[in-house]
Structure 1
Amino acid sequence: MAPAYKLTYFDFTALGEPIRFLLSYGGIEFEDNRIQRANWPALKPSTPFGQVPILEYNGKLAYQSIAICRYLAKQVKLVGKDDWEDLEIDATVDTITDLRLKFAQYIFERDEQAKKEKEKSLFNETFPFYLGKLDAQAKKNNGYLVGCRLTWVDLVFTAILDFFNFMIKKDIITNFPNLQKVKENVEKIPNIKAWLEKRPKNVSH
């Protein structure tokens, strides 16, 4: 029998990986439908808004990666203990998204001169500012980003970090020990550890 969930995304980590982390954490079997870029133009018109990831469940389609993550977090009980804590989680996830979008502007810049300027800004200003603030937040929460315990934002951060590090070929949290602790706390979870061991190794992140 086919799994109830089917995730469709490209054959790398990026926006698909937080979803894979959450499904794996919950021990939820899913079809990991990885599409090749060459096949994307043919598939794109059939998607709700011309983008992936898409999560299918019992014939229903969900889109928008963070919305999918928030839904799955409820399914696997990784949400806040109250509305205020949910707000803190959402704000931190949005902050990580802000950082990811600034990073993407650099990665996908085609003009070499503009890229050099963005690289300087990214490494001298953006990363130190965002990662410094998040590190202080993780220190206050004893190695987690919210609530002094594991929530879905920790999984989102660790999964997205993987993509950052791969794209620039360095570990951006080397100087941020509390974020290193967040990563360690996520990666030592048995189901996450098992996913990291079994996920495809021969693909770009």
Structure 2
Amino acid sequence: MLNYKLYYFNVTGLGEPIRYLLHYCGVEFEDYRFQDFDEWKNHFQDKMPMRQVPVLEIDGCEKLHQHISICRYFGKKFNLCGSTLEEDQRIDEVMYDINDMRLSIANYYNETVVEFKAALKERMLSKLSFFLGKLDMLASKNGQSFVRGGITWVDIYYAGISEVMSNILERDINEDYANLTKLVAHVRNNNRIKAYLEKRPKTII
């Protein structure tokens, strides 16, 4: 059996959708969380492929990086992809739509210049509303999933990353979208994910 170790900070962030997916698939792994920035910078940063995290280490040697790529890897490994090439294309489309939305929120969150932040907020909220509306329509058509009648890795990814986006904005971004709310609840009601959510460390974000 392979040994997995996920390196990330003690926050939800880009590590959370990976954690969701690993728990959903029943993969045992060490959830290694840096205790502070100094630990990361002084002991780990230079050991990572691109000097950033999340990184998933396999058997103490091979390191996978880029959070979307890691999620896709486990989607393929545990048959959580589409049943056709076209369905996989749709999954990727949804994935990058979600990531566009996430980046818009991240840019707003990381901006420190007050006047720029105000402009970014207006643009971000408009983009958020547009994307959430489109994603809600997809979830409506496909029965608690984005692409087909069963859960794929992008549904699990969304349940994890939408929690991160909600934490940043200090409100549930899905609350006005009934189909997205059902999709996320469906994922989080998985017994393994539910157990993880109950025991995971309490973090600010």
- Regarding TM over 0.5, the answer is yes
Q: Secondary structure at the match of 1:74?
A: helix
> What is the CA-CA distance between 1:129 and the residue it aligns to?
0.5
**Structural RMSD (CA):** 1.3
Q: Distance between the aligned counterparts of 1:129 and 1:148, measured in 2?
A: 24
Look up the equivalent residue of 1:32 and give its one-letter code.
Answer: D
Q: Which residue of 2 aligns with 1:67?
A: 69
Q: Distance between the aligned counterparts of 2:93 and 2:2, measured in 1?
A: 32
Look up the equivalent residue of 1:120 and give its one-letter code.
Answer: E
Q: Which residue of 1 aligns with 2:15?
A: 16
Task: List per-residue Cα deviations over 1:30-60 (Å, max 9, x = no partner).
Answer: 0001012232222212211111011011221
Task: List per-residue Cα deviations over 1:168-203 (Å, max 9, x = no partner).
Answer: 1111111111100111110111111111111112x2
Look up the equivalent residue of 1:159 and give its one-letter code.
Answer: G
Q: Which residue of 1 aligns with 2:145?
A: 144
Look up the equivalent residue of 1:53 and give its one-letter code.
Answer: P
> Structure 1: 5+ residue runs without aligned partners?
none
Q: Distance between the aligned counterparts of 2:91 and 2:195, measured in 1?
A: 25
Q: List aligned pairs for 1:1-205, cutoff 5 A.
A: 4-35=3-34, 36-42=36-42, 43-58=44-59, 59-123=61-125, 125-201=126-202, 203-205=203-205
> Structure 2: 5+ residue runs without aligned partners?
none
Number of residue pairs the alignment of both structures matches: 202
Q: Distance between the aligned counterparts of 2:161 and 2:173, measured in 1?
A: 12
Task: List per-residue Cα deviations over 1:51-75 (Å, max 9, x = no partner).
Answer: 1011011221111111111111122
Q: Secondary structure at the match of 2:120?
A: helix
Look up the equivalent residue of 1:197 and give its one-letter code.
Answer: E
> What is the CA-CA distance between 1:100 and the residue it aligns to?
0.8
Look up the equivalent residue of 1:39 and give its one-letter code.
Answer: E
What TM-score, normalized by structure 1, do the two folds share?
0.94
Look up the equivalent residue of 1:75 and give its one-letter code.
Answer: K
What TM-score, normalized by structure 2, do the two folds share?
0.94
Q: Secondary structure at the match of 2:64?
A: strand
Q: Distance between the aligned counterparts of 1:162 and 1:108, measured in 2?
A: 18
